Structures are given as C-alpha cells and as structure tokens.
Amino acid sequence: GENVEQHPSTLSVQEGDSAVIKCTYSDSASNYFPWYKQELEKRPQLIIDIRSNVGEKKDQRIAVTLNKTAKHFSLHITETQPEDSAVYFCAASSNTGKLIFGQGTTLQVKP
C-alpha cells in the first residue's frame, strides 16, 4: 500500500522567512496530493492541493510542487507569519479516494 514520508518533523523559522516541507510517496498510482494545516485542538483543514497532471500550484503565500518521476512533493510558505504556526500534513491518494498521511511537521514561526 501507499506510504508517505514527511520531513522535517519540526521546523522553526523567523517571521518573514520561507518554510519548506517535503514529502515522498511510494505508490506510483497516486495522483492527488493535498496539504492540511492543523491548529491546536482543531480539525485538519485543507490549505492547498495538487493533482498529478500539474507540476506546481500557487495560492498567495503558499505553493506546492510535484515531481512525479521522483515521487516527491513539497509545500512552500513564503513571508511566514506567526499565524502560520501549526502542524502541517501532506497526504497522497489514488482513485480510491482514501488519503494516506505523512507524519506531520510542526512549524513554529517566531515573531
């Protein structure tokens, strides 16, 4: 089955700096790669996603890149703000619809 590896497990950046979180997946049939943000005591919320027919997608300060050959995708957050502090999860899915999640990255943005 699918396996998703996520790095780093923790990331601390200064406000205004960029943050990058990387994931790899094992199942070549995976074709959908979302990123979720989970704040303390709250449910995971989708922040951006990318499908396998696209190499890059951007939404304001957030971007995701996908390298299907390497089975690798990344989340990029620019101009980080304290409210970006949260746990971020990557995930992968094939046409089954079920998502397999990475281990999570705790991002701390220092003011």
Q: Can you tell me the distance from the alpha carbon of 51 to that of 70, in angstroms, rounded to the nearest whole number?
A: 15
* Footprint of another protein on 13-32 (CB under 8 A): 32
Smallest distance from the beta carbon of 28 to another protein, in angstroms? 17
Which candidate, 85, 98, 93, places its Cα nearest to that of 38? 85
Per-residue binding letters, 64-103, with another protein (x by CB under 8 A): -------------------------x-x-x---xxxxxxx
Smallest distance from the beta carbon of 29 to another protein, in angstroms? 13
Number of residues binding to another protein, judged by CB under 8 A: 20
Q: At CA 72, angle to CA 71 and CA 77, rounded to 5?
A: 160
- How does DSSP classify residue 93? B
Residue pair 50/64 in contact (Cβ under 8 Å)? The answer is yes
Q: Interface with another protein by CB under 8 A: which residues?
A: 1, 32, 34, 42-46, 49, 89, 91, 93, 97-104
